[in-house]
Structure 1
């Protein structure tokens, strides 16, 4: 089967053999009430209250959301407004840690007897897509359509990031058991664990583990970007096409990040919700690149100093990978549920933009066959009907077009601005 277009990147997996290091409990944590797609939560605690590890401190009645929990024990110091890197404002709970890490009485393995109680337990865990998108997992696992295939996304195609790879190397049993748990609870027949070819040891280990299980296929995908994008990994794993305006469930598929499925298995055994995050810390301003596990709410500054970064020299800070990550305006922003990497740079090449030379490279590399140069022209004249014809809403902002453009045009950025012009149904 022909694979979708993409680009070859220098993966720079400097930390692939760096065993995860536990970051010490900080003096204070700042926990935003919005860390996933969907509605923000409202604080369930007040200033001066004691909190414990695993305690739910934020929730909402909105269906499309996930609750927020504390990863530390201590006292609520303040509740303030917080603006994240996307400009979204929500409440933020500041907790002064007592260092005792007393576990809350709320933490106990959930009782799961059927699909409904399983979905409730998934929501109670606070789980979301740990690959960076932050889609609430209980919504994803409860589609209206019949699902026959579960795809576990273990591509991790972004440069630098090795957080999922360390999950695969350090907790492979949790992944396999998590896959079987989800399959059994949702009545899904088949599972595909899709891994990029640049992770041969992980492929070998999982192939041996799944050797006697006909319901789990270990798929080796070419090492190409953006292999881990949802529509791409679905097509390259199954041949199924997710059309514009459709969801993976519409073609009988659910896609889960490999770290998410492992976390869910552990939660069902222990009842400890999502309160920590493993993130890759790298970049030319970091003297000791490594994978760090920290409680949610730990400041980026503390993480960088732990990794011996020269914080005063940093001129570019990225949460996530360099292709689809988010530029961070404040080094004191906190680790959140979707934090899978922190990249700090003290120098980089700022490329100058020039006129389009109509070379067509952006078209050739687009996995979805879009025409970024034409979208760019239509956006400039605000031609909404033309943008619809050009299928701009299919763009997943992978950045491949920008990466290959010899004129250094910010095509992916323009695509996102163009999508904002299209009225939402």
Structure 2
């Protein structure tokens, strides 16, 4: 099987390959390093490098795949282990974790983001149900690295099994508390997490550090624990497969799948497509992007969703884009898939321009879009496609 390792699996610049075509590599071996902002990239399999281009390293995996892996270099410094392991935000953003944790949070906190607010996606909650210990250990390491005095696990009350499992682990942890989030989208947005956990409203463009806090996805915390305890680099990913796939409409979880495997493999593992079916979405229903069968799993992929076929829509279309959901490009893809013509565009009334980028001023508190809808109708729209979080 060909394994495709993308050279850019993070916010920042693509990494530089440090292997050659024809070279044999081992699982866990460092194969690319960042020259600017980025994170180390390791081989997820034993195999042979068959191609390298500006975007990816392609490895032909060997039939025999031992469990053993090349460990990251030994270090007494937790932050160095996080850096060596190539850990990035596993919740989708992909910001290098060693940079995020390189702060002093005296009297501050680290918040474990267990919101998993996108519909269908469930691998974070499944991890907490099956192995809450590793997430709590990762949280404690993150607290030590940042000198934080408190740790919080932010989760929705409906995830009772995960909450019970966490409660048992945290009952003797004086500095770690479980905080409940509203059951809405986008509860997993960092600014929503800070607002609901700490009662602090961040301005558009502000990061949690402005509230003396750092927010980490629960899978990221798992990777921190693995890097420190087992010297394990990031070579696998937890994902959910769902939608129009057999036996998995509500979502099937796969833990620790090798990075670089084609998503078609996991669709087939679920039993194949359920007909009729439409496009493949990589990510969640709200913020996912259009993908294809050949796309590889990477460090930030959370969902592989197969959609229903688009309905035919010949009426004139207006779109409302929002930072919290589908952006303008995604809405254009949807309209094109429906065979419709976009005649007018608007932005959610919460959107404000900050440093050249439109951002939501209060994510999760949607004011309603009646004004925008009326504007679109005046511009000739007969039907509206919206990317806003509510309404």
Aligned residue runs from structure 1 range 50-65, under 5 A: 50-62=24-36, 64-65=37-38
Q: What displacement does 1:102 show? A: 4.8
Q: 2:55 aligns with which of 91, 95, 117?
A: 91
Matched, 1:316 2:289: no
SS at match of 2:384: coil
Q: In 2 relative to 1, CA 186–47 (structure 1 residues): closer, same or farther, beyond 3 Å? A: same
Q: Which has the higher strand share?
A: 2
Q: In 2 relative to 1, CA 53–160 (structure 1 residues): closer, same or farther, beyond 3 Å? A: same
Contact 2:204–2:360 (Cα < 8 Å) also in 1? no
Contact 1:56–1:70 (Cα < 8 Å) also in 2? yes
Matched, 1:338 2:311: no
Contact 1:110–1:268 (Cα < 8 Å) also in 2? no
Aligned residue runs from structure 1 range 121-160, under 5 A: 121-143=81-103, 148-160=108-120
Q: In 2 relative to 1, CA 182–34 (structure 1 residues): closer, same or farther, beyond 3 Å? A: same
Q: What displacement does 1:389 show? A: 8.9
Partner of 2:259: 296
Partner of 2:309: 347
Aligned length: 352
TM-score using structure 1 length: 0.74
Q: Distance in 1 between matches of 2:149 and 2:161?
A: 27
SS at match of 1:409: strand
Contact 1:153–1:228 (Cα < 8 Å) also in 2? yes
Q: What displacement does 1:282 show? A: 0.6
RMSD: 3.4
Contact 1:175–1:262 (Cα < 8 Å) also in 2? yes
Q: Distance in 1 between matches of 2:143 and 2:197?
A: 17
Q: What displacement does 1:205 show? A: 1.9
Q: Distance in 1 between matches of 2:346 and 2:170?
A: 54
Matched, 1:69 2:29: no
Contact 1:402–1:409 (Cα < 8 Å) also in 2? no
Partner of 1:13: none
Q: Distance in 1 between matches of 2:49 and 2:5?
A: 11
Matched, 1:223 2:183: yes
Greater RCO structure (CA 8 Å; 6+ sep) = 1
Q: Distance in 1 between matches of 2:226 and 2:361?
A: 31
Contact 1:192–1:219 (Cα < 8 Å) also in 2? yes
Q: Distance in 2 between matches of 1:281 and 1:307?
A: 8
Q: In 2 relative to 1, CA 279–75 (structure 1 residues): closer, same or farther, beyond 3 Å? A: same
- Structure 2: which 5+ runs fail to align? 325-343, 374-381
Q: What displacement does 1:75 show? A: 0.7
Deviates more, 1:398-407 or 1:31-40: 398-407
- Structure 1: which 5+ runs fail to align? 1-26, 81-89, 357-361, 368-378, 414-425
Partner of 2:359: 394
Q: What displacement does 1:409 show? A: 3.5
TM-score using structure 2 length: 0.80
Q: What displacement does 1:297 show? A: 0.6
